A and B are shown apart, each in its own frame.
Chain A
């Protein structure tokens, strides 16, 4: 993929382009802030039972991670590049190794009648 047309410099106005990218950072930071404040506030004031609370925390964390990737690291499904493939592959490896470890160790703890993880 070496032939990238250099259209942007004359095509887009740099001032407008900068404003757009600035707004994108503000938007990303704002959403990340919201996704941080809500689970902290729920923990502090709402006192949900344990398992729904853990699910809520995980969902907020995953969404916030995607927001960081999209707005701060500029990774998205829109541009198909090797870095997207690499991160998907790393996510697959992480899922297999982390979930596998936790599963095996929890099962071991259960069968050995130790406090379950």
Chain B
């Protein structure tokens, strides 16, 4: 098999995309540098959470606040959205029709918004049980970490809406193609952060 050497992280456009493929190399690497610095940020917030998880100050404990079924659904929704974004990347690479590409992007957006709705519902349940950020060190750290991921997902959803608008206005030119490819990296990266969140915060918190 004579496969083309991959030049950058994420699904590579092939040389069939000509200059777009060439232009992607430095932009994708630059975006990758940003993602790694974001990973360091998340890592430090994780460290803050782990060191203050026992600092409940007589307030509600993790097992009283977390709802494992809801977290499971959120995890599946986010994984499904990663898969639909993968399908969008394939539609872009193999030059399927633009409506098909936008269809996969729209599916990703809906799943992203569904995830955010579940998460907001979780937070409001926690609030109702007295789990507010000011209650204890544990809750401050929790509401530092988990909504930080939620904010990233919100940012990703807004970016996705903007991209679909750009595609509708300008078509699939170099800029919009590279936008989709960078958002794909961002989206998959957020799913990886979520793996760490559901493992460290929810699963470990409920054992």
A and B associate: yes
Instruction: Given the known inter-chain contacts A21-B90, A54-B204, A74-B9, please indicate yes or no for A65 contacting B196, CB distance below 8 A.
Output: yes
Q: Are A68 and B40 in contact (CB under 8 A)?
A: no
CA distance A6 to B21 in the complex (A): 11
Q: Which of A11, A58, A117 contacts B53 (CB 8 A)?
A: A117
User: Of A22, A87, A94, which is in contact with the most chain B CB atoms at under 10 Å from its CB?
Assistant: A94
Determine how close the nearest CB of chain B comes to the CB of A91; give it in whole angstroms. Answer: 9
Partner among B29, B191, B207 whose Cβ is within 8 Å of the Cβ of A50:
B207
Chain B: which residue is nearest A79 at the CB level?
B6
The reply to whether A22 and B90 form a contact with Cβ atoms under 8 Å apart is: yes
Main secondary structure of the interface of B (DSSP, over half): helix
Q: Which of A6, A72, A106, A116 contacts B191 (CB 8 A)?
A: A72
Residues of A23-45 whose CB lies within 8 A of B: 25-26, 28-29, 32-33, 36, 39-40, 43-44
Contacts of B53 in A (CB 8 A): 117
Seen from chain B, the residues whose Cβ lies within 8 Å of a Cβ on chain A are: 1-12, 14-16, 29, 32-33, 36, 39-40, 43-44, 46-48, 50-55, 68, 72, 75-76, 79, 82-83, 86-87, 90, 93-94, 185, 188-189, 191-192, 195-196, 198-200, 203-204, 206-207
Question: Can you show 14 pairs from A to B with CB atoms below 8 A apart?
Answer: A8-B4, A9-B14, A9-B16, A21-B93, A33-B76, A74-B9, A81-B6, A81-B8, A82-B29, A83-B29, A94-B39, A94-B43, A97-B44, A116-B54
